[in-house]
Structure 1
């Protein structure tokens, strides 16, 4: 009975993490594959968890299950922040370039996505696999059971302040990624505005859309090496954010 409860709690935390975390939460991955992966991680983890006391009270059991779900979702959400910043950067670029009108439903994300947002997202996902960061994600989840035992999840003011700081860093990263393309689109708008004042006969609206699209794509190709270098530098922070959150929760108890 003890091993069954322990395995169930471990499975719940890992599954909740995979529901929202990058890489594992992709809708293209079959659900049976996610269940098998979560079960395999549970089998690997169960031997390293000690000092577990079985719970006999049904109400207390449900409460611990709820805490494990919330903690798993919190870990997944924090690891997803970098990808959220990348998507925000893509939406900012699309709004300025004019691609916001071309948003379409993407079954991979299950929502309306921007064109540059998808481009940056898949570029970031590619860098995750190239740098083996998905291994560190799995390692962080497994190590969370040593730092935060089953049911020992509490939140204090310092933890909440840390999460708020991560939100600000996410927007900072989004602005950093979007700035070159947004600025180039704004410069094109200024030049077209000056041209329309000089030669009123020119249809600036018809010229502006294809011109901004072309220049933004050219700028994207020009800054692509710098973008990849920045992503390699910023992506490990997603693991750092999650680990710092786990350590903060562990210190609270």
Structure 2
């Protein structure tokens, strides 16, 4: 298994393999969490690299100069980062939707620390983020990430330079779908809170004696929490479909970047 340690060319190829895998694991959901130490991520990258390296197509880099090697390293790192970020966009969309819903429910100033990204987010966004992490593990998202690592080496051989405008436009398009993801995840809560606010506005007009500010906040909070709890099944089915869409997007990206 470790015969490549006696071949300089294979050592370079193994280093490039670890660079690509590191780019994926350091940016992918769950694996790229700030809670997980960078040493553990690097250890996993090396371990996965050792396991899949015997199945990677070898190329001759013995005649490559320093500038070419630097470009190859940057290219492998960018492929890994792009692969991991496409998965991370799912969680960004969920957090963004939770942030909007939290503000509508009246939790706009109630923020907690998200240890995964080391940032302050709303209470509802953190709750949805934790739920989606659990869904991610139940669906087998961590296995999908490993599958994406293997597929990347099958469809994009080491040392290939195929950065075209289609791949760039595709990544930008995926990034723009963050808002669509947020809308899909939070649609039931958003509609419920919107209807609640409309009803409270009508009641305020019909019965001016009611203090809408006092009775409105408890109603919105209670209604929002009830819908969140009752729509967890919808969240699961929606997130599962988004995970399958993530796999398709990864394969499309590999087709754009591959030969």
Report the equivalent of 1:74.
82
Report the equivalent of 1:54.
61
Report the equivalent of 1:24.
31
**Aligned mates of 1:211, 1:140 — CA distance in 2:** 45
Task: Decide whether the 8 Å contact of 2:22 with 2:42 is kept in 1.
Answer: yes
The residue correspondences of 1:1-40 to structure 2 (distance < 5 A) are 1-40=8-47
Task: Decide whether the 8 Å contact of 2:93 with 2:181 is kept in 1.
Answer: yes
Shift of 1:168: 4.3
Shift of 1:104: 3.1
TM-score by length of 1: 0.91
What SS does structure 2 have at the residue aligned with 1:105?
strand
Report the equivalent of 2:149.
141
Describe the shift of the 1:124–1:204 C-alpha distance in structure 2 as closer, same or farther (beyond 3 A). Answer: same
What SS does structure 1 have at the residue aligned with 2:57?
coil
Q: Please, which of 212, 216, 241 is the counterpart of residue 220 of structure 2?
A: 212
- Of residues 16-25 and 177-186 in structure 1, the stretch that sits farther from structure 2 once superposed is 177-186
Report the equivalent of 1:201.
209
Describe the shift of the 1:153–1:89 C-alpha distance in structure 2 as closer, same or farther (beyond 3 A). Answer: farther
The alignment covers a number of residue pairs equal to 251
Q: Is residue 190 of structure 2 the alignment partner of residue 221 of structure 1?
A: no
**Aligned mates of 2:75, 2:171 — CA distance in 1:** 18
Offset from partner CA, 1:152-182 (integer Å, 9 cap, x none): 1422232233334323443222212222211
RMSD, aligned CA:
1.8
- Of residues 149-158 and 31-40 in structure 1, the stretch that sits farther from structure 2 once superposed is 149-158
Shift of 1:71: 1.1
Describe the shift of the 1:106–1:133 C-alpha distance in structure 2 as closer, same or farther (beyond 3 A). Answer: closer
Q: Please, which of 38, 43, 47 is the counterpart of residue 50 of structure 2?
A: 43
Q: Please, which of 161, 167, 181 is the counterpart of residue 173 of structure 1?
A: 181
